[in-house]
């Protein structure tokens, strides 16, 4: 008669010290390894339109600027070159409004340009060096703030732009790929406004007025333009002294 094999399973008492110790170690390992190997990459604050959308030819007019580039993503495009000539004059206007020199304004922007650059996904923009980037931030920042200032204070004539260019600039500076880091605007607003909230209020008024444009009126304007082509605020003290 063949011998039978007998297997004996000894179950560990769940209340025994050894089982409790093993369970505690397992829980401890869960806590310590819960994030091991799982890292969240730093996401740039100012990103490009997703390729799946941007590569659709019919969508490009929704994401690309008509007349002005703000920031590095559309900088240097030939079709946007005509508006570049307005940036230096508007920078000088803004400095004059602030009772400061353009050098003082630029130096402040240069101090934050390094951090500002980290806000962008600069993949494919390696040809932009630090100085060129600081120049861009300064001119674009002054351009935006002086443009907004003239619109809010109803001094459009000081922009020296045609009415359709004013309309297109208003449209372009709301685009996803046409944004500036806030720290650039913040240091520039510091020259004009005693309190940051005053500058933010000016921007809020500009945004509100842009949103309140009558759609039918704007639609008729753009149609008319394209078909033709085809066939107050009080005294505010500056935060930074110019002395």
Could you write out the DSSP letters of every residue in 37-88? T---PPPPSB-PPPHHHHTSGGGHHHHS-SS---SSSSTT-GGGHHHHTTHH
Q: Using the predicted structure, report yes or no on whether residue 233 has a pLDDT greater than 50.
A: no
pLDDT for the residue numbered 27 = 76
Percent of the chain beyond pLDDT 90? 56
Backbone angles phi, psi at 120, to 5 degrees: -100, 150
Residue 36 belongs to a domain: no
Residue of 188 and 13 predicted with greater confidence:
188
Mean pLDDT of 30-37: 61
Distance between CA atoms of residues 238 and 186, nearest Å = 13
Going by pLDDT thresholds of 50, 70 and 90, the confidence category of residue 231 is very low
Going by pLDDT thresholds of 50, 70 and 90, the confidence category of residue 21 is confident
pLDDT for the residue numbered 56 = 80
Going by pLDDT thresholds of 50, 70 and 90, the confidence category of residue 51 is confident
Please state which of the ranges 50-54, 125-129, 148-152, 186-190 shows the lowest mean pLDDT. Answer: 125-129
State the residue range of the domain holding 67: 52-230
Residue of 32 and 160 predicted with greater confidence:
160
Residue 149 belongs to a domain: yes
pLDDT for the residue numbered 235 = 45
Query: Which pTM was predicted?
Result: 0.72
Mean pLDDT of 212-229: 52
Rg for the chain, CA atoms, rounded: 29
Q: Using the predicted structure, report yes or no on whether residue 220 has a pLDDT greater than 80.
A: no
Residue 15 belongs to a domain: no
Distance between CA atoms of residues 13 and 46, nearest Å = 58
Residue 235 belongs to a domain: no
Q: Show the tokens assigned to 118.
A: 């980290």
pLDDT for the residue numbered 227 = 45
Residue 37 belongs to a domain: no
Residue indicated by tokens 């209340």: 15
pLDDT for the residue numbered 201 = 96
Distance between CA atoms of residues 47 and 177, nearest Å = 7
Residue 17 belongs to a domain: no
Q: Using the predicted structure, report yes or no on whether residue 202 has a pLDDT greater than 90.
A: yes
pLDDT for the residue numbered 49 = 86
Residue 21 belongs to a domain: no
pLDDT for the residue numbered 50 = 86
Each residue of 129-164: pLDDT tens digit?
Answer: 899 999 999 999 999 999 999 999 999 999 999 999
**Average pLDDT value for the chain:** 82
Q: How many domains does the chain have?
A: 1
Residue indicated by tokens 């508006």: 83
Residue 19 belongs to a domain: no
Q: Using the predicted structure, report yes or no on whether residue 32 has a pLDDT greater than 60.
A: yes
Backbone angles phi, psi at 46, to 5 degrees: -115, 110
Distance between CA atoms of residues 224 and 65, nearest Å = 19
Question: How crowded is residue 178: how many other Cβ atoms within 10 Å of its Cβ?
Answer: 21
Residue of 86 and 241 predicted with greater confidence:
86
């Amino acid at each position: 008669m063949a011998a039978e094999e007998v297997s004996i399973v000894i179950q560990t008492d769940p209340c025994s010290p050894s089982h409790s110790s093993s369970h505690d170690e397992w829980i401890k390992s869960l806590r310590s390894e819960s994030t091991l190997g799982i890292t969240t990459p730093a996401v740039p604050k100012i990103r490009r339109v997703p390729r799946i959308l941007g590569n659709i030819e019919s969508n490009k007019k929704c994401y690309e600027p008509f007349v002005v580039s703000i920031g590095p993503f559309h900088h240097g495009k030939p079709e946007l070159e005509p508006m570049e000539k307005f940036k230096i004059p508007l920078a000088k206007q803004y400095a004059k409004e602030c009772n400061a020199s353009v050098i003082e304004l630029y130096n402040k922007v240069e101090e934050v340009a390094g951090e500002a650059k980290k806000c962008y996904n600069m993949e494919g923009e390696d040809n932009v060096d630090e100085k060129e980037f600081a120049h861009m931030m300064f001119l674009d920042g002054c351009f935006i703030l002086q443009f907004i200032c003239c619109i809010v204070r109803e001094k459009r004539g000081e922009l020296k732009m045609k009415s359709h260019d004013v309309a297109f600039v208003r449209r372009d500076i709301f685009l996803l790929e046409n944004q500036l880091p806030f720290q650039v605007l913040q240091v520039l607003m510091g020259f004009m406004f005693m309190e940051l909230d005053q500058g933010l209020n000016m921007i809020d008024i500009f945004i509100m007025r842009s949103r309140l444009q009558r759609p039918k009126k704007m639609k008729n304007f753009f149609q008319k333009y394209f078909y033709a082509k085809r066939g107050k605020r009080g005294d505010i003290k500056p935060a930074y002294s110019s002395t």
